[in-house]
Amino acid sequence: MKSTLSSKGQITVPAEVREKLGLSTGTVVVFELRSNGVLLRKGNKGEHPVDRVFGTLQLGRPVDAVLDEMRGPRPRKA
């Protein structure tokens, strides 16, 4: 599949791609530059809920220690 860039920098996303990704008017898309081209992904309208609280938890010790306490110690490799 291919599309042509307009003079305004716009492209038409082929119908098959729009249907497969569930894209409709107003859907946010994300362009991710790669070494061999660009990746188009369906985005979201805002930040992820986890982004609002990421880094706010103050444990006072390593996360692994907290997880070991909750789950029990991890098996050690021989």
Residue 56 in any domain: the answer is: yes
Which secondary structure element, helix H or strand E, spans residue 64, and what is its range? helix 63-71
pLDDT at 74: 80
Report pLDDT digits (tens) over 32-75.
999 999 999 888 777 778 888 888 888 889 988 888 999 987 88
Residue 39 in any domain: the answer is: yes
- Beta-carbon contacts of 16 under 8 Å, excluding residues fewer than 6 positions away, are 1
Residue 7 in any domain: the answer is: no
Domain that holds residue 49: 15-71
Residue 3 in any domain: the answer is: no
pLDDT at 42: 87
Residue 4 in any domain: the answer is: no
Residue 77 in any domain: the answer is: no
- Beta-carbon contacts of 78 under 8 Å, excluding residues fewer than 6 positions away, are none
Residue 5 in any domain: the answer is: no
Look at the chain and report how many structural domains it folds into.
Answer: 1
Residue 55 in any domain: the answer is: yes
φ, ψ of residue 29 to 5 degrees: the values are: -125, 150
Q: What global pTM score does this model have?
A: 0.49
Report pLDDT digits (tens) over 11-42.
999 999 999 988 999 888 889 999 999 999 88
pLDDT at 39: 93
